[in-house]
């Protein structure tokens, strides 16, 4: 287990307007390196040579079903980081990208259920409840069109719900933690996002004014990032 002073944390921010880094950094120690990835050139060729211990792959408004300019380099980096035993956490798009890199293109798809958004109920397994010290059902921020349908070999499913079967997983052998939901969003940041995204949400039959009356049932950022840094 790594202690905080031995950790070197990298955020690979795939968000199209760099919105992910600030909301994730809130939950992390002060010393964090963040790289915004939007082109092939923005993904450093020598990144794997840097002495990072923990890598966070962020969410994005991009679709994992469409190849981005950086996709091949990101997937190669994910595989090499796995082979080196580095800890990796994927969130939504990042979770999907990690699974695509390690389980194959068939591991991800556009959700047949369409957009999942809001403070959604997530059902955790008995083991997940023990690991994270949470209840069976918790409300956590959701916003995604795509999903993972196949996990890297040796993975354990930790959470599910009626919209998306794979909401979270852990892989001890490959040092992976993945969440389809977004633990980084607290009530203020999450509801601000919904307000700014009103047009898309209402187009998909969501009532934004009702959505923002809700919030998370737990401090998901504190719980999941602390677990990642100290247990993976």
The full set of domains in the chain, from first to last, is 4-114+145-185+219-231 (3.40.50.880)
Calculate what percentage of the chain has a pLDDT beyond 90. Answer: 95
Give the model's pLDDT for residue 31: 84
Question: What gap in Å lies between CA 14 and CA 21, rounded to an integer?
Answer: 9
Which tokens go with 159?
A: 């959470």
Give the model's pLDDT for residue 178: 98
Q: How far from the centroid of its chain's Cα atoms is residue 134's Cα?
A: 19
Question: Could you report the per-residue pLDDT of 1-50, keeping only the tens digit for each?
Answer: 445 558 999 999 999 989 999 999 999 987 899 999 999 999 999 999 99
Question: What gap in Å lies between CA 180 and CA 89, rounded to an integer?
Answer: 11
Report yes or no: 51 and 17 within 8 Å, Cβ to Cβ.
Answer: no
Q: Please provide residue 125's backbone torsions phi and psi, each rounded to the nearest 5 degrees.
A: -70, 165
Nearest to 185 by CA among 32, 25, 8, 33: 25
Give the model's pLDDT for residue 97: 98
- In terms of pTM, does the model score above 0.85? yes
Which tokens go with 7?
A: 């950790």
Q: How high does pLDDT run on average in the chain?
A: 96
Exposed, middle or buried by CB within 10 Å (0-12, 13-18, 19+), for 74? buried
Report yes or no: 77 and 42 within 8 Å, Cβ to Cβ.
Answer: no
Q: How far from the centroid of its chain's Cα atoms is residue 155's Cα?
A: 16
Calculate what percentage of the chain has a pLDDT beyond 70. Answer: 98
Question: Could you report the per-residue pLDDT of 141-150, keeping only the tens digit for each?
Answer: 999 999 999 9
Which tokens go with 206?
A: 């969501």
Give the model's pLDDT for residue 131: 98
Local mean pLDDT, 10-residue blocks, the chain (232 residues): 70 95 94 96 96 97 98 98 98 98 98 98 98 98 98 98 98 98 98 98 98 98 98 95
Give the model's pLDDT for residue 2: 41
Question: What gap in Å lies between CA 212 and CA 207, rounded to an integer?
Answer: 9
Q: Positive or negative CA dihedral for 43, 51, 22, 157? A: positive
Give the model's pLDDT for residue 4: 53
């Amino acid at each position: 287990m790594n202690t905080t002073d031995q950790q070197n944390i990298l955020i690979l921010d795939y968000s199209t307007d760099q919105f992910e880094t600030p909301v994730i950094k809130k939950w992390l120690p002060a010393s964090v390196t963040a790289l915004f990835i939007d082109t092939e050139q923005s993904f450093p060729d020598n990144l794997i040579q840097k002495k990072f211990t923990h890598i966070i792959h962020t969410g994005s408004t991009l679709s994992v079903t469409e190849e981005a300019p950086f996709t091949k380099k990101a997937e190669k980096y994910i595989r090499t980081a796995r082979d080196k035993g580095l800890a990796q956490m994927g969130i939504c798009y990042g979770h999907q990208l990690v699974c695509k890199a390690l389980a194959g293109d068939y591991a991800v798809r556009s959700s047949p259920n369409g957009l999942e958004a809001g403070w959604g109920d997530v059902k955790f397994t008995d083991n997940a409840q023990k690991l994270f010290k949470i209840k069976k059902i918790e409300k956590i921020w959701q916003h995604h069109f795509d999903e993972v349908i196949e996990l890297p070999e040796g993975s354990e499913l930790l959470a599910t719900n009626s919209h998306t079967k794979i909401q979270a997983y852990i892989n001890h052998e490959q040092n992976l933690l993945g969440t389809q939901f977004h633990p980084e969003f607290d009530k203020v940041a999450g509801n601000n996002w919904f307000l700014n995204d009103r047009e898309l949400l209402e187009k998909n039959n969501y009532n934004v004014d009702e959505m923002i009356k809700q919030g998370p049932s737990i401090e998901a950022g504190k719980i999941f990032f602390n677990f990642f840094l100290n247990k993976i």
